[in-house]
Structure 1
């Protein structure tokens, strides 16, 4: 069975930034909650599939973890930079080749 065509996944990152990469709890930042994701999904009429919505929550947890680690001045910032179109195509091809084994 052939593998599906892959894109660079930036639509997921853009969705995360639209939802907000972190939520807010009483004592500080938190992972974006399911109700927040569901509300965003409904209010924006997003076309994300259920597994992509799950990925948003996982990415939020990773973003928060990196954000907390970044308080150490020797740690890299959790910035997200959209790759150039040429790099995105090369990255998609690289991922596809890795999945083929």
Structure 2
């Protein structure tokens, strides 16, 4: 999900990175929605875990930015929802939150591939081909 939520940026050392305004950029998910492409998703063997993570908020706000979900936040969520997490589930949710933050930072590079492989659809091929035709003539 972090790869989809990231807003790709060109390398700051490139001419395009220096000249292109940052306000014109879309996140990958917004770009896919604009192109009417369903985002590719990897298989999820434990959807209840990711649902809980999303419900908790994926990350927490801190003084200098986002941080992984804390044990205190996990405990508060359990108290508020009356859901009792097994110790392995709580550890996994914290690890997923850490991984989300790490991937989000890596995924800001516009050349960062998705962390999973998904089959390319015909619609994606058609869009890429039309963009190439516009550029190359």
Q: TM-score, normalised by structure 2?
A: 0.48
Shift of residue 76 of structure 1?
Answer: 4.5
Structure 1 residues 49 and 70 mapped into 2: Cα distance closer, same or farther (>3 Å)?
same
SS at 1:48's partner residue?
Answer: coil
Alignment partner of 1:52: what SS? helix
2:95 corresponds to which of 40, 58, 65 = 58
Larger radius of gyration: 2
**Structure 1 residue 77 displacement after superposition:** 6.2
In 1, Cα distance between the equivalents of 2:70 and 2:88?
Answer: 15
Structure 1 residue 51 displacement after superposition:
1.1
1:40 aligned residue? 77
Deviation at 1:8, TM superposition (A): 2.1
User: What 5-or-longer segments of structure 2 have no aligned partner?
Assistant: 1-43, 116-137
Report the counterpart of residue 17 of structure 1 in structure 2: 54
Q: Distance in 1 between matches of 2:112 and 2:75?
A: 32
User: What displacement does 1:62 show?
Assistant: 0.4
TM-score normalised by the chain length of structure 1: 0.64
Q: Which residues of structure 1 form unaligned runs of 5+?
A: 1-6, 79-101
Q: Which whole-Å CA distance do the structure 1 matches of 2:95 and 2:102 have between them?
A: 11
Do structure 1's residue 27 and structure 2's residue 27 form an aligned pair? Answer: no
CA RMSD of aligned residues (A): 1.9
Change in CA separation of 1:75 and 1:54 when aligned onto 2, cut-off 3 Å: same
Runs ≥4 residues deviating over 6 A: none
Report what 1:73 is aligned to. Answer: 110
